Amino acid sequence: MLLLGIVVAICLVWQATRWTYADALDKLIKVGGERLTLYSGTLHESLSRYAYLPYVLSQNIDVQIMLKSSFNLELVNHYLQSLNTEAGSEALYVMNSIGDTLAASNWQEPLSFVGQNYGFRPYFTDAKSGHKGHFFAIGVTTGQPGYFMSHPVLQDERFLGATVVKVDLTPLQDDWREGGETVLVSDANGVLFLSSRNDWKYRTLTALSEAQRTLMLAGRQYGHQSLDLLPLDTVATLAAGQRIVRFENTLYLMLSRPLPDLDWQLHHVVPLAPVREQGQVVAAIGTVLALLILALGLYARERRQKQISRRKAREAGAIQEMNLRLQEEITERSRTESALRETQAELVQAGKLAALGHMAAGIVHELNQPISAIRTHAASGRLLLDRQETGKVRETLAAVSRMTEHMASITAQLKTFAHKTPKLKGRVVLQDCLDGALAMTAPLFSEFGISLDQEIPATPLVLEGDLARVKQVLVNLIRNAIDAMRDCEQRNLQIEISTQDQEVEISISDSGIGIAEQDMEELFTPFFTTKEVGEGMGLGLSISYRIVTDLGGTIRVQNLLAGGAQFIVRLPLVNQGNGAMK
Ligand code: ADP
């Protein structure tokens, strides 16, 4: 991310620098172009201002007479002098047909042109061939550079001579220099004959060939100037007439434009440093800005990271606190749990003791009666023996053995809990068990006026088990039902037997008081009873539960909507094909 930011910043700065450089260069080119237009205008104007003079002179009668007859010399000299002063040119002069100067505006001056022969000058040869001539050269006589314009003097197409004006271009050059500009004019050979820079004057843009040098020497154009090559290396060419050059390790923009009607080129040269500086300034500002943004970014990132770590520390603290709280809660809970366990153990202990007490009371009550009866019978037996009433003694003993049988049946019930029941082997018919149970409880039905409804299949239903135990289950359930209906107005017992798959379902419903919700769960636990001491030991249902589960069945209870309770016993049936055994 950071690296990407740096790369993007570098690209942006580089692009901005490039753009600034290109823009500044464009502006420089535009301004340079405008300057070139201006300077070519002024140069053209400076030359054309004097262009008419040779023509005017060639048409002058006195000049023509002078050329024909060498008369009028003085007159023409004066005329040339005054015209020259008036026009502001450097010099005006008239040459005969072989190039000898006959009259000149400077006839009175020490370096007068009069008497000099300029027949070698190209402007003379041009005039001689009937054309106007123009030429820039360093004066042979004066050593002063100037622009020469000539016109032939013709009479009946005969060449009489040439009239010439010499224009001084140094004021123009001085103007450029004063303006602080580098303006150059090069001729067709690339010689810089006008230059606002002195050190570049009379130097060439391209190396001169021998032929060129010979030609120039013949016209004595640039006197004794050595015309050395100006070492301007072209670094880049931007367009025609637009290039970047190097001179003495400095880069310049050089704009060149040809001058109309002349074989010259006008050049404008400006240093590139400001453009480069602008680019550098933008690069510097861009870099500083990028660094600033980068620093800000780094600062923001550090801040964010600090915030994140602070938040994480806070969260860690919160988690630690939560852990501590959880730990405390766990300790608290385990404390509570152990306290509960202790309480539960105490309760179980108390419950056991209570159950034991209840059972003891029950057993004492159940056994007390026959014991005291046996004691009474033993006492009366002794009396009857004393009285020799043996018949009555026998009756008394029979009563004693009945009592002991009753006691034995009580202890037999308790034995169910004392020993493990042997593996079952026998088979029994359910209807027989029910008949036995109903026979045992028949006295109670009549005692409490209880009606009985039965719905029992005729086919004998064979179970795996023994008659005594199945019968005991049924007796217990019937007895409890009768007990529950004792104080009710409606007393009806309903016994239904049905089969389903390989099971038999025995339903015993009464119209009694029903079972309280809170007692439902404890109903089958030993010694649970709601009955008074002596009326029940709370063993009936627990014994029944034990027997039914031993036989591979289930027992459950529910209250009936109409009132009363319903006990449902399900037991597995033996396949009918195996036959029933009694
Ligand atoms: P016991 O009859 O000696 O109390 P049980 O184990 O046979 O012992 O019965 C436990 C308790 O279940 C009874 O005290 C009684 O409250 C309740 N109970 C059993 N059968 C019925 C029933 N048919 N209707 C109402 N309550 C019943």
Tens digit of each residue's pLDDT (9 = 90 or more) over 410-456: 777 676 666 555 555 689 999 999 999 999 999 999 999 999 999 99
Tens digit of each residue's pLDDT (9 = 90 or more) over 297-333: 889 999 999 999 999 999 999 999 999 999 999 999 9
Residue with tokens 């002078």: 66
Whether 580 shows a pLDDT value over 60: the answer reads no
Indicate the range of 365-369, 469-473, 476-480 predicted with least confidence. Answer: 365-369
Name the closest-CA residue to atom 11, ligand 1: 529
531 lines ligand 1 (CB under 6 A): yes
- Given this model, what pLDDT does residue 519 score? 93
Q: Angle at Cα 512 formed by Cα 511 and Cα 516, nearest 5°?
A: 125
Mutation to probe ligand 1, out of 441, 483, 537 (largest number of atoms < 8 A from CB):
483
> Ligand 1 centre and the CA of 218: distance in Å?
158
Token code pair at residue 287: 């870099």
What integer is the mean pLDDT of 172-193? Answer: 90
Token code pair at residue 456: 């029992």
Token code pair at residue 226: 């050595």
Token code pair at residue 310: 């602070």
Q: Angle at Cα 357 formed by Cα 354 and Cα 358, nearest 5°?
A: 85
Tens digit of each residue's pLDDT (9 = 90 or more) over 55-64: 999 999 999 9
- Given this model, what pLDDT does residue 1 score? 72
Q: Tell me how far apart the 2 most distant CA atoms of the chain are, in Å.
A: 226
Whether 581 shows a pLDDT value over 50: the answer reads no
- 283: helix, strand or coil: helix
pTM: 0.50
Name the closest-CA residue to atom 13, ligand 1: 529
- 205: helix, strand or coil: coil
* C-alpha closest to that of 460 among 336, 574, 372, 540: 574
Name the closest-CA residue to atom 21, ligand 1: 480
Helix H or strand E segment including 344 = helix 273-386
Tens digit of each residue's pLDDT (9 = 90 or more) over 63-117: 999 999 888 889 999 999 999 999 999 999 999 999 999 999 999 999 899 999 9
- Given this model, what pLDDT does residue 420 score? 56
| Other beta carbons less than 10 A from residue 276's beta carbon | 14
Mutation to probe ligand 1, out of 477, 511, 541 (largest number of atoms < 8 A from CB):
541
* Position 582 confidence tier, pLDDT thresholds 50, 70, 90: very low
- Given this model, what pLDDT does residue 579 score? 41
> Ligand 1 centre and the CA of 466: distance in Å?
24
Q: Which atom of ligand 1 is nearest to the CA of 362?
A: 3
What integer is the mean pLDDT of 526-548? Answer: 84
540 lines ligand 1 (CB under 6 A): yes
Average pLDDT, the chain: 88
538 lines ligand 1 (CB under 6 A): yes
> Ligand 1 centre and the CA of 120: distance in Å?
162
537 lines ligand 1 (CB under 6 A): yes
C-alpha to C-alpha distances, 552 to 463, 464, 545, nearest whole angstrom = 10, 9, 11
Which amino acid would we find at residue 432?
D
- Given this model, what pLDDT does residue 419 score? 56
484 lines ligand 1 (CB under 6 A): yes
Distance of alpha carbon 298 from alpha carbon 287, whole angstroms: 16
Q: Angle at Cα 254 formed by Cα 285 and Cα 208, nearest 5°?
A: 145
C-alpha to C-alpha distances, 366 to 403, 406, 480, nearest whole angstrom = 11, 9, 17
Q: In what order do the strands lie in the sheet with 158-167?
A: 101-104, 91-96, 158-167, 145-155, 133-138
Residue with tokens 């004097």: 50
Distance of alpha carbon 53 from alpha carbon 167, whole angstroms: 11
Helix H or strand E segment including 95 = strand 91-96
What integer is the mean pLDDT of 226-242? Answer: 90
| Other beta carbons less than 10 A from residue 305's beta carbon | 10
Whether 218 shows a pLDDT value over 90: the answer reads no
Residues 6 or more apart whose Cβ sits within 8 Å of residue 258: 264, 265, 266
- Contact (CB, 8 A) for 15 and 22: no
139 lines ligand 1 (CB under 6 A): no
What integer is the mean pLDDT of 509-516? Answer: 96
Look at the alpha carbons of 278, 282, 287, 292 in this order and tell me if their dihedral is positive or negative: positive
Distance of alpha carbon 86 from alpha carbon 78, whole angstroms: 12
- Given this model, what pLDDT does residue 576 score? 56
* C-alpha closest to that of 358 among 542, 564, 488: 542
Set out the domains of the chain in order of their start, with CATH numbers. Answer: 40-47+171-276 (3.30.450.20), 53-165 (3.30.450.20), 319-418 (1.10.287), 427-580 (3.30.565.10)
Name the closest-CA residue to atom 23, ligand 1: 481
